[in-house]
Chains A and B, each alone.
Chain A
Amino acid sequence: MAADITKELSPLPDRTPEPAFSADELVWTAAEQEQMEVYKKRYPTNDGAIMRGLWLAQDKYGWLPPEVIRLVAETLEVPYAQVYGVATFYTQYFKERKGKYVLDVCTCFSCQVCGGYDMLHHLEEKLEIHVGETTEDGLFTLQEAECLGACGSAPMLQITNGSYLHNLTTKKLDTLIDGLREGKRVPFVSVTLPQDADDLDGNRRSDVKATDTYHAPPVAKTVK
């Protein structure tokens, strides 16, 4: 049988994984504990705070192995299974160890026609990894993402669930990777929608100087 037929699209998670963090590491600092209490008070029931709690834990540990998910569940006094279900639902919660910078290159419809895959392949070559993998130095993880809601500035990518990089070119990507290797984060760049440009005197936001003005979108190499 062909390999792609037998390959499980949704494989069974490791049900008895080796813990990645020791019991000594699995404690909150006083400030984090206090923050969790704030989250708990914010919602009528504690399960409302699950997503906040997981986010805090991911900030602390970098990813969410089962023992961290269990720690969040115990802190919030909600069932472990429920927290695990939430964590597996969202791709932004990392269930396996990722690189320091997770590059989510959008290859959804708009980005695809504007060259999203070109950008992805360029990164694959530059980082010498396949999509879904992490570089050996543990610095970069390359991922394909579905629409991140910035079609107006396609193609784009997102860095570790955080800042966006718009209107990608291979040159921009090279600068980004080289910069990140030296620890330089990308500066914030605001994007103006074309229909707003005239009405709002170029930009509807207050940070006019940091604006990349609209230009004709690029076209993917494969689009004829």
Chain B
Amino acid sequence: MPKVTIDGNVIEYEGREKLLQLCLDDGVELPHFCYHPSMSVPANCRQCLVEVGMPVKNRETGALEVDENGDPVIRFFPKLQTGCSMDVSDGMVVKTHRTSDLVKRAQKDNLEFLLVNHPLDCPICDQAGHCPLQIQAYKYGPEGSRFEFRKVKKPKRVKLGPRVMLDAERCINCTRCVRFTDEISKSHQLTIIARGVKNYPMTPPGMEFDDPYSMNTTDICPVGALTPANTRFQARQWEMAPTPSITTTNAKGANCFYWTRDNLIMKITPRQNLQVNEYWLPDEDRLVLDQFNNNRPEGPQVRADGGLQASTWDAATAAAADLLDAVDGSEILFVGSAYATVEDNYLLTKLASALGAATPVYLSHVETGHGDDWLRTDDRTPNTQGCERLGLTRTDAATLQAQLEEGAIKLVYVLEDDLVASGLAAGALDGVSVILHHYNTTNATLPAADVALPAAMVVETVGTFVSEDGHAQRVRPAKAIKGINRTLMMETGKSRTDMHGTPFDRWHNESHQVDCQPSWETLPAIAALLGHPMSYKGPKQIMAEVAANHDAFAGATYDAMGLEGVRLEEIGEAV
């Protein structure tokens, strides 16, 4: 295999590689701003300059020339080369800032230039703490600036579009955002206007930056020039803890980080997964913070004296069990959910079959025309495939209504869905007992519920979702819930300082904890009261059982899914 020598270390490579990408793949850090692996290489930030040389060959014989020690003679390019645009070739010798003072000096001077007109407003900048310019200025930059004149004034607080704010003074003109709209999202909405020190990215007059993927530019912006409008000035980077998970706005299962502070989701950013969403996340996936933080229920409720009254978990599960016990299995309609995890739906099917009820149905939430063949799908739920693979029956509100009007159904058990908001007439549930696992107090089925059991959302639970493409991925709890659950505590990321230690530790934080339970905890509790014990240590064991018993889930164990998920075998026609 061809070899390159970088700072004396020999690296083997295959195919045509760019030097900077080779370094990144190999864990050799090279500072850079404008380069992005998925976009074209403009080489305009000049930060990845390195010394590059090739072994000298005798022109006639083609033999390598050697010096008196027998080492090959290396002839270096007269000028420094940008690593991002440099094609590596066999025998190439590279000196980075680790071994070359020239490169070190070039990086330092280049940063001094980049900082000439850059406002040093890091203390009020949202990018501070994860800003490539800040980090690299600390690591490779000069101690101060020799520029003692007034900096160029440019527009600030510009609303480029409904979701992206621009601070033109901070921009270093790397053109990543422009290239993103040109090459990735293909909306062609941005350009660099003017020239010299006066230039900055802008939309042309009469055009708004309303690309459905516009907020990706705020992720790839190497400075604080582009920031998301919805999370601006909400939290500092170091106050939040990221949890690797997936988004549930649609059936794509795009990988993301949920950023948490004080048990509130502060922002959602993409997580690299080349099999699913690469580096990107649609805007709609990031704008759902509200549903996780607000209008969350405060514990279970049971209908008494004509209204829903606050209850305890023991009393509420007992009430649910009593309701289920009072009717015959054939009179119960179990409604699973494409919002819920595979584990929750699986336990529901187990409960249904234990009580002799029909296979659970699930409501399809397809919004035709919403998808775009990329990261947005017509299906607005994350787990339709999971329900299909478990054998749940797809239904819609009209069918459900007809079924209820027949009168044979005495009890509806709804798992993490909203029947009334999906189009079921509220009157259809009159005279029918309803047990509801719900996420938000805005759930329109809640007024009809007899037992309301708050369910943990994707940011609070452990479970598996199967994307439209059959990619099974597991989620991890990003925020803590009120109850103590060993699995959730163990699965919570180690970066969560507020989650470790005892309630007596200074950093322990109980604010904004929602009194809810993952359905894989509630369902077995109800089943046990009905005399059908389901003993599982946790969702990992449930999923292992699903993977072992269902061919459609073959291989989808927690260990196999890891952080990037498992591509399942295709089943029939995709939904």
Contact = CB atoms under 8 A, between A and B. Distances in A.
Interface of A: 5-17, 66, 69-70, 79-85, 88-89
Given A12-B158, A85-B193, A7 B205 contact: no
Contact of B204 (A7, A9, A10, A81): A81
Contacts of A6: 153
A9 B152 contact: yes
A5 B150 CA distance: 8
Contact of B205 (A8, A11, A15, A85): A15
21 contacts: A8-B154, A9-B154, A9-B197, A10-B155, A11-B155, A12-B158, A12-B202, A13-B193, A15-B206, A17-B206, A66-B205, A70-B206, A80-B204, A80-B207, A81-B188, A81-B190, A82-B188, A82-B191, A84-B191, A84-B204, A89-B193
Interface of B: 150, 152-155, 158, 168, 181-182, 188-195, 197-200, 202-207
Contacts of A89: 193-195
Contacts of B189: 81
Contacts of B195: 88-89
A5 B119 CA distance: 14
Given A10-B197, A80-B207, A82-B188, 16 more contacts: A8-B154, A9-B197, A10-B152, A10-B153, A15-B203, A15-B206, A66-B204, A66-B206, A79-B188, A81-B181, A81-B191, A81-B203, A81-B207, A88-B194, A88-B195, A89-B194
Contacts of B181: 81
A13 B202 contact: yes
A217 B197 CA distance: 33
A70 B168 CA distance: 24
A10 B188 contact: no
A8 B153 contact: yes
A75 to B, nearest CB: 16
Greatest chain A CB density within 10 A among B189, B197, B199, B207 is at B207
A10 B154 contact: yes
Contacts of A14: 205
Contacts of B158: 12
Nearest to B198: A10
Contacts of B194: 10, 88-89
B206 A16 contact: yes
Given A80-B188, A85-B192, A69 B204 contact: yes
A120 B186 CA distance: 46
A174 B282 CA distance: 62
A17 B206 CA distance: 7
A85 B158 CA distance: 18
A200 B194 CA distance: 43
A1 to B, nearest CB: 11
Given A66-B204, A88-B193, A79 B153 contact: no
B147 to A, nearest CB: 15
A6 B190 CA distance: 26
Greatest chain A CB density within 10 A among B199, B203, B204 is at B204
Nearest to A19: B206
Contact of B153 (A7, A81, A82): A7
Contacts of B155: 8, 10-12
A84 B205 contact: yes
Contacts of A69: 204
Contacts of B152: 9-10
A6 B155 CA distance: 11
A50 to B, nearest CB: 11
6 shortest interchain CB distances as A-B pairs: A85-B191, A79-B188, A10-B198, A84-B204, A66-B205, A12-B155
Contacts of A70: 204, 206
B200 to A, nearest CB: 7
